[in-house]
Amino acid sequence: MIDVTEIQPGVDRFQVRKPMPPAQFDALSREILALKKKLNAVILAHNYQVGEIQDIADYVGDSLGLAQQAAKTSADVIVFCGVHFMAETAKILNPNKIVVLPDKDAGCSLESSCPGPKLKALQDTNPNFYTVTYINCSAEVKALSDVICTSGNAVKIVNAAPKDRDLLFVPDENLGSWVMEQTGRPMTLWKGNCYVHVEWTHASISRIRREFPNAPLVAHPECPKAVRMLADEVCSTEKMVTYCKQAKSPQIIIATEAGMLHRLQKECPDKQFIPAPTDNCRCNECRFMKMNTLEKVLDCMENLGPRVELSPEIIQRARLPIERMLEISARP
Protein backbone atom coordinates (compact mmCIF):
# COMPACT_ATOMS: atom_id res chain seq x y z
CA MET A 1 0.00 0.00 0.00
CA ILE A 2 1.31 3.44 -0.92
CA ASP A 3 2.26 5.83 1.84
CA VAL A 4 0.19 8.89 0.90
CA THR A 5 2.48 11.10 2.94
CA GLU A 6 5.26 10.39 0.51
CA ILE A 7 6.35 13.43 -1.45
CA GLN A 8 7.92 13.39 -4.89
CA PRO A 9 11.52 14.59 -4.78
CA GLY A 10 12.38 17.79 -6.62
CA VAL A 11 12.96 21.45 -5.99
CA ASP A 12 11.54 22.32 -2.56
CA ARG A 13 8.71 24.59 -3.49
CA PHE A 14 7.48 22.49 -6.38
CA GLN A 15 7.13 19.35 -4.30
CA VAL A 16 3.81 17.67 -4.96
CA ARG A 17 2.15 14.59 -3.51
CA LYS A 18 2.45 11.41 -5.51
CA PRO A 19 -1.02 10.52 -6.74
CA MET A 20 -2.32 7.11 -5.71
CA PRO A 21 -1.70 4.40 -8.39
CA PRO A 22 -4.73 4.42 -10.77
CA ALA A 23 -5.66 0.76 -10.09
CA GLN A 24 -5.80 1.37 -6.34
CA PHE A 25 -7.80 4.57 -6.82
CA ASP A 26 -10.29 2.78 -9.11
CA ALA A 27 -10.80 -0.11 -6.67
CA LEU A 28 -11.30 2.15 -3.64
CA SER A 29 -13.52 4.64 -5.42
CA ARG A 30 -15.74 1.83 -6.78
CA GLU A 31 -16.29 0.53 -3.23
CA ILE A 32 -16.92 4.03 -1.87
CA LEU A 33 -19.44 4.91 -4.58
CA ALA A 34 -21.34 1.64 -4.08
CA LEU A 35 -21.51 2.22 -0.30
CA LYS A 36 -22.57 5.81 -0.86
CA LYS A 37 -25.59 4.62 -2.81
CA LYS A 38 -26.46 1.94 -0.24
CA LEU A 39 -26.25 4.39 2.69
CA ASN A 40 -27.83 7.34 0.86
CA ALA A 41 -24.71 9.27 1.84
CA VAL A 42 -23.22 12.51 0.60
CA ILE A 43 -19.46 13.10 0.56
CA LEU A 44 -18.41 16.67 1.33
CA ALA A 45 -14.72 17.61 1.01
CA HIS A 46 -12.71 20.71 1.81
CA ASN A 47 -10.38 22.23 -0.80
CA TYR A 48 -7.36 21.13 1.29
CA GLN A 49 -8.13 17.41 1.12
CA VAL A 50 -5.81 15.09 -0.83
CA GLY A 51 -6.62 14.96 -4.55
CA GLU A 52 -8.09 11.44 -4.42
CA ILE A 53 -10.69 12.50 -1.87
CA GLN A 54 -11.57 15.62 -3.84
CA ASP A 55 -12.01 13.45 -6.93
CA ILE A 56 -14.67 11.18 -5.37
CA ALA A 57 -16.54 13.88 -3.41
CA ASP A 58 -20.03 15.11 -4.30
CA TYR A 59 -19.02 18.62 -3.38
CA VAL A 60 -15.59 20.25 -2.88
CA GLY A 61 -15.41 23.75 -1.46
CA ASP A 62 -14.54 26.19 1.31
CA SER A 63 -15.94 26.24 4.85
CA LEU A 64 -18.88 28.41 3.84
CA GLY A 65 -19.83 26.28 0.84
CA LEU A 66 -19.55 23.13 2.95
CA ALA A 67 -21.81 24.56 5.67
CA GLN A 68 -24.33 25.61 3.00
CA GLN A 69 -24.26 22.14 1.46
CA ALA A 70 -24.68 20.51 4.88
CA ALA A 71 -27.65 22.80 5.62
CA LYS A 72 -29.55 21.64 2.54
CA THR A 73 -28.61 17.99 2.07
CA SER A 74 -31.32 15.33 1.96
CA ALA A 75 -28.81 12.48 2.47
CA ASP A 76 -29.13 10.22 5.54
CA VAL A 77 -25.38 10.07 6.16
CA ILE A 78 -22.87 12.92 5.77
CA VAL A 79 -19.30 11.79 5.15
CA PHE A 80 -17.32 14.87 6.05
CA CYS A 81 -13.80 15.01 4.62
CA GLY A 82 -12.21 17.96 6.33
CA VAL A 83 -11.26 18.70 9.91
CA HIS A 84 -13.26 17.98 13.06
CA PHE A 85 -14.80 21.44 13.57
CA MET A 86 -16.21 21.33 10.02
CA ALA A 87 -17.87 17.96 10.64
CA GLU A 88 -19.25 19.33 13.93
CA THR A 89 -20.82 22.21 12.04
CA ALA A 90 -22.52 19.69 9.73
CA LYS A 91 -23.83 17.80 12.78
CA ILE A 92 -25.15 20.98 14.42
CA LEU A 93 -27.10 21.69 11.23
CA ASN A 94 -28.28 18.05 10.99
CA PRO A 95 -28.79 16.72 14.54
CA ASN A 96 -30.83 13.74 13.31
CA LYS A 97 -28.40 12.58 10.63
CA ILE A 98 -25.31 10.45 10.99
CA VAL A 99 -22.15 12.51 10.42
CA VAL A 100 -18.92 10.53 10.03
CA LEU A 101 -15.38 11.71 9.40
CA PRO A 102 -12.37 9.72 8.22
CA ASP A 103 -10.13 10.70 11.18
CA LYS A 104 -11.56 12.03 14.42
CA ASP A 105 -8.17 13.48 15.41
CA ALA A 106 -8.13 15.95 12.50
CA GLY A 107 -8.00 19.12 14.60
CA CYS A 108 -6.98 22.70 13.89
CA SER A 109 -4.47 25.03 15.59
CA LEU A 110 -7.08 27.80 15.64
CA GLU A 111 -9.63 25.61 17.36
CA SER A 112 -7.15 24.53 20.03
CA SER A 113 -6.05 28.14 20.67
CA CYS A 114 -9.50 29.03 21.99
CA PRO A 115 -10.93 26.85 24.77
CA GLY A 116 -14.52 27.66 25.78
CA PRO A 117 -13.82 28.56 29.45
CA LYS A 118 -11.07 31.04 28.44
CA LEU A 119 -13.37 32.71 25.93
CA LYS A 120 -16.15 32.89 28.52
CA ALA A 121 -13.76 34.55 30.99
CA LEU A 122 -12.88 37.24 28.41
CA GLN A 123 -16.53 37.77 27.46
CA ASP A 124 -17.35 38.32 31.15
CA THR A 125 -14.98 41.33 31.25
CA ASN A 126 -17.29 43.34 28.94
CA PRO A 127 -21.07 42.79 28.82
CA ASN A 128 -21.21 44.90 25.64
CA PHE A 129 -19.06 42.45 23.66
CA TYR A 130 -20.63 41.04 20.49
CA THR A 131 -18.67 37.90 19.66
CA VAL A 132 -17.96 37.22 15.98
CA THR A 133 -16.41 33.77 15.77
CA TYR A 134 -14.49 32.30 12.87
CA ILE A 135 -15.95 28.87 12.06
CA ASN A 136 -12.53 27.28 12.91
CA CYS A 137 -13.49 26.60 16.54
CA SER A 138 -15.19 23.96 18.69
CA ALA A 139 -18.96 23.55 19.00
CA GLU A 140 -18.59 24.73 22.62
CA VAL A 141 -17.08 28.04 21.40
CA LYS A 142 -19.76 28.38 18.72
CA ALA A 143 -22.35 28.02 21.48
CA LEU A 144 -20.80 31.06 23.23
CA SER A 145 -20.89 33.21 20.07
CA ASP A 146 -23.30 35.79 18.67
CA VAL A 147 -22.52 35.03 15.05
CA ILE A 148 -20.19 32.72 13.11
CA CYS A 149 -18.22 33.74 10.03
CA THR A 150 -15.91 32.10 7.52
CA SER A 151 -13.11 33.71 5.54
CA GLY A 152 -15.56 33.90 2.63
CA ASN A 153 -18.12 36.07 4.43
CA ALA A 154 -16.28 37.64 7.40
CA VAL A 155 -16.41 41.18 5.95
CA LYS A 156 -20.15 40.91 5.29
CA ILE A 157 -20.82 39.46 8.76
CA VAL A 158 -18.84 42.21 10.53
CA ASN A 159 -20.53 44.92 8.44
CA ALA A 160 -23.88 43.53 9.57
CA ALA A 161 -22.93 43.47 13.29
CA PRO A 162 -24.84 45.86 15.60
CA LYS A 163 -23.17 49.29 15.57
CA ASP A 164 -23.65 49.89 19.30
CA ARG A 165 -21.73 46.78 20.41
CA ASP A 166 -17.99 46.25 21.03
CA LEU A 167 -16.80 43.59 18.62
CA LEU A 168 -14.77 40.64 19.88
CA PHE A 169 -13.30 38.59 17.02
CA VAL A 170 -12.06 35.05 17.78
CA PRO A 171 -9.89 33.03 17.29
CA ASP A 172 -7.80 34.15 14.24
CA GLU A 173 -5.93 37.41 14.80
CA ASN A 174 -4.77 37.57 11.15
CA LEU A 175 -8.23 37.14 9.63
CA GLY A 176 -9.49 39.57 12.28
CA SER A 177 -6.95 42.27 11.42
CA TRP A 178 -7.71 41.87 7.69
CA VAL A 179 -11.44 42.26 8.41
CA MET A 180 -10.71 45.40 10.45
CA GLU A 181 -8.80 46.84 7.47
CA GLN A 182 -11.69 46.01 5.11
CA THR A 183 -14.53 47.26 7.31
CA GLY A 184 -12.88 50.05 9.35
CA ARG A 185 -14.57 48.52 12.40
CA PRO A 186 -12.32 48.23 15.48
CA MET A 187 -12.37 44.81 17.15
CA THR A 188 -10.74 43.11 20.09
CA LEU A 189 -8.78 40.20 18.59
CA TRP A 190 -8.14 36.78 20.12
CA LYS A 191 -4.46 35.86 19.73
CA GLY A 192 -4.82 32.65 17.73
CA ASN A 193 -3.44 31.76 14.32
CA CYS A 194 -3.25 29.04 11.72
CA TYR A 195 0.09 27.32 12.14
CA VAL A 196 0.29 26.73 8.35
CA HIS A 197 -0.49 30.22 7.08
CA VAL A 198 1.90 31.98 9.47
CA GLU A 199 4.79 30.09 7.83
CA TRP A 200 4.74 32.50 4.88
CA THR A 201 6.91 35.52 5.46
CA HIS A 202 7.56 38.84 3.73
CA ALA A 203 11.00 37.50 2.71
CA SER A 204 9.80 34.16 1.28
CA ILE A 205 7.01 35.83 -0.70
CA SER A 206 9.25 38.65 -1.97
CA ARG A 207 11.67 36.03 -3.30
CA ILE A 208 9.04 34.21 -5.36
CA ARG A 209 7.58 37.49 -6.60
CA ARG A 210 11.00 38.50 -7.90
CA GLU A 211 11.30 35.14 -9.66
CA PHE A 212 7.85 35.41 -11.31
CA PRO A 213 7.37 39.18 -11.64
CA ASN A 214 4.33 38.86 -13.94
CA ALA A 215 2.43 36.29 -11.85
CA PRO A 216 -0.23 37.71 -9.51
CA LEU A 217 -0.17 36.50 -5.90
CA VAL A 218 -3.32 35.21 -4.21
CA ALA A 219 -3.19 34.79 -0.42
CA HIS A 220 -5.57 33.49 2.23
CA PRO A 221 -6.55 36.06 4.91
CA GLU A 222 -5.10 33.75 7.58
CA CYS A 223 -1.66 34.91 6.31
CA PRO A 224 0.12 37.60 8.33
CA LYS A 225 -0.24 41.24 7.27
CA ALA A 226 3.36 41.36 5.91
CA VAL A 227 2.29 38.70 3.36
CA ARG A 228 -1.19 40.06 2.66
CA MET A 229 0.39 43.41 1.76
CA LEU A 230 2.27 41.73 -1.09
CA ALA A 231 -0.85 40.01 -2.49
CA ASP A 232 -2.93 41.03 -5.50
CA GLU A 233 -5.93 39.27 -4.00
CA VAL A 234 -6.73 38.16 -0.44
CA CYS A 235 -9.66 35.75 -0.26
CA SER A 236 -11.16 32.46 0.88
CA THR A 237 -10.24 29.25 -0.92
CA GLU A 238 -13.47 29.23 -2.96
CA LYS A 239 -12.98 32.83 -4.08
CA MET A 240 -9.47 31.83 -5.19
CA VAL A 241 -11.11 29.57 -7.79
CA THR A 242 -13.19 32.48 -9.13
CA TYR A 243 -10.19 34.83 -9.15
CA CYS A 244 -7.94 32.34 -10.96
CA LYS A 245 -10.59 31.48 -13.58
CA GLN A 246 -10.90 35.16 -14.45
CA ALA A 247 -7.19 36.05 -14.25
CA LYS A 248 -5.45 36.88 -17.53
CA SER A 249 -2.02 35.70 -16.38
CA PRO A 250 -1.04 32.10 -17.29
CA GLN A 251 0.91 31.81 -14.00
CA ILE A 252 -0.45 32.53 -10.50
CA ILE A 253 1.31 32.28 -7.12
CA ILE A 254 -0.84 30.69 -4.41
CA ALA A 255 -0.25 31.31 -0.68
CA THR A 256 -2.49 28.79 1.01
CA GLU A 257 -2.51 25.11 1.95
CA ALA A 258 -1.15 22.83 -0.79
CA GLY A 259 -4.39 20.86 -1.36
CA MET A 260 -5.78 23.96 -3.04
CA LEU A 261 -3.46 23.39 -5.98
CA HIS A 262 -5.33 20.21 -6.97
CA ARG A 263 -8.67 22.01 -7.10
CA LEU A 264 -7.21 24.99 -8.99
CA GLN A 265 -5.43 22.81 -11.54
CA LYS A 266 -8.68 20.93 -12.21
CA GLU A 267 -10.71 24.12 -12.60
CA CYS A 268 -8.06 25.95 -14.67
CA PRO A 269 -6.11 23.28 -16.59
CA ASP A 270 -4.45 25.85 -18.86
CA LYS A 271 -2.82 27.81 -16.01
CA GLN A 272 0.29 27.13 -13.96
CA PHE A 273 -0.07 27.45 -10.19
CA ILE A 274 3.06 28.21 -8.22
CA PRO A 275 2.87 27.23 -4.53
CA ALA A 276 4.27 30.13 -2.53
CA PRO A 277 7.40 28.90 -0.72
CA THR A 278 7.80 29.08 3.02
CA ASP A 279 11.22 29.43 4.57
CA ASN A 280 11.19 25.69 5.30
CA CYS A 281 10.06 23.05 2.85
CA ARG A 282 6.76 21.11 3.14
CA CYS A 283 5.33 23.65 5.60
CA ASN A 284 2.39 24.48 3.37
CA GLU A 285 0.56 21.27 4.23
CA CYS A 286 -1.93 21.15 7.09
CA ARG A 287 -1.11 17.97 9.00
CA PHE A 288 -4.71 17.80 10.22
CA MET A 289 -6.29 18.05 6.77
CA LYS A 290 -3.83 15.43 5.53
CA MET A 291 -4.83 12.88 8.21
CA ASN A 292 -7.70 11.88 5.92
CA THR A 293 -6.99 9.33 3.22
CA LEU A 294 -9.18 7.52 0.71
CA GLU A 295 -8.76 4.28 2.70
CA LYS A 296 -10.07 6.03 5.82
CA VAL A 297 -13.03 7.41 3.85
CA LEU A 298 -13.99 3.84 2.95
CA ASP A 299 -13.43 2.65 6.54
CA CYS A 300 -15.62 5.34 8.08
CA MET A 301 -18.42 4.50 5.64
CA GLU A 302 -18.14 0.76 6.33
CA ASN A 303 -18.12 1.27 10.11
CA LEU A 304 -20.41 4.31 10.21
CA GLY A 305 -17.77 5.77 12.49
CA PRO A 306 -16.00 7.68 13.84
CA ARG A 307 -19.18 9.72 14.30
CA VAL A 308 -19.66 13.26 15.47
CA GLU A 309 -21.77 13.25 18.64
CA LEU A 310 -22.76 16.45 20.45
CA SER A 311 -25.09 17.13 23.37
CA PRO A 312 -28.56 18.46 22.47
CA GLU A 313 -27.84 21.54 24.58
CA ILE A 314 -24.63 22.44 22.67
CA ILE A 315 -26.39 21.78 19.35
CA GLN A 316 -29.25 24.07 20.30
CA ARG A 317 -26.98 26.92 21.41
CA ALA A 318 -24.42 26.58 18.59
CA ARG A 319 -27.06 26.40 15.87
CA LEU A 320 -28.33 29.95 16.31
CA PRO A 321 -25.07 31.81 15.46
CA ILE A 322 -24.49 29.46 12.50
CA GLU A 323 -28.00 30.09 11.18
CA ARG A 324 -27.47 33.82 11.67
CA MET A 325 -24.34 33.55 9.52
CA LEU A 326 -26.17 31.61 6.79
CA GLU A 327 -29.00 34.16 6.79
CA ILE A 328 -26.64 37.19 6.53
CA SER A 329 -24.58 35.39 3.87
CA ALA A 330 -27.68 34.84 1.71
CA ARG A 331 -28.52 38.57 1.71
CA PRO A 332 -27.86 40.33 -1.60
- CA-to-CA distance for 213 and 176, rounded, in angstroms? 29
Helix (H) or strand (E) holding 244: helix 237-246
Pick one of 136, 193, 204, 278: the residue that binds ligand 13P (CB under 6 A). Answer: 136
Q: Contacting ligand SF4 (CB under 6 A), which of 59, 195, 212, 243? A: 195
Number of residues forming the site for ligand SF4 (CB under 6 A):
13
The one among 80, 130, 169, 288 contacting ligand SF4 by CB under 6 A: 288
**Residues 6 or more apart whose Cβ sits within 8 Å of residue 239:** 62, 152, 233
Binding-site member from 49, 89, 109, 204 for ligand SF4 (CB under 6 A): 109
Site string for ligand SF4, 1-40 (x = CB under 6 A): ----------------------------------------
Do residues 47 and 62 make contact, with C-beta atoms less than 8 angstroms apart? yes
Q: Residue count at the site for ligand 13P (CB under 6 A)?
A: 13
CB 90 within 8 A of CB 318: no
Q: How far is the CB of 145 from ligand 13P (least distance, A)?
A: 17
* Interaction between residue 150 and ligand 13P (CB under 6 A): yes
x-marked contacts with ligand 13P along 89-128 as a string, rule CB under 6 A? ----------------------------------------
- Rounded Cα distance between 273 and 291, Å, is 24
Contact 233, 219 (CB under 8 A): yes
Q: Does 175 bind ligand SF4 (CB under 6 A)?
A: no
Question: What does 109 interact with, of ligand SF4, ligand 13P, none (CB < 5 to 8 A by kind)?
Answer: ligand SF4
Phi, psi angle pair for 143, to nearest 5°:
-65, -20
271 backbone dihedrals φ, ψ, rounded to 5°: -110, 155
- HSE of 203, CA atoms in CB hemisphere, 13 A: 4
Stretch that binds ligand 13P, among 27-35, 150-158, 177-185, 276-284 (CB under 6 A): 150-158
Minimal distance, residue 170 CB to ligand 13P, in Å: 15
Please tell me the distance from the alpha carbon of residue 103 to that of residue 289, in angstroms, as a whole number: 9
Query: Residue 243: which H helix or E strand, with range?
Result: helix 237-246
Nearer to ligand SF4, 148 or 289 (CB): 289
Ramachandran category for residue 186: left, alpha or beta (phi over 0 → left; psi -120 to 50 → alpha): beta
DSSP lists the bridge partners of residue 272 as: 251
Give 32-53 as a DSSP string. HHHHHHHHTEEEEEETTS-HHH
Distance CA(165)–CA(251), nearest Å, equals 44
Per-residue contact string for residues 181-220; x = within reach of ligand 13P by CB under 6 A: -------------x-------------------------x
Choices 31-39, 106-114, 204-212, 259-267; region in contact with ligand SF4 by CB under 6 A: 106-114
Q: Return residues touching ligand SF4 (CB under 6 A).
A: 83, 108-110, 136, 194-196, 222, 257, 286, 288-289
Q: Return residues touching ligand 13P (CB under 6 A).
A: 47, 62-63, 136, 150-152, 194, 220, 222, 236-237, 257
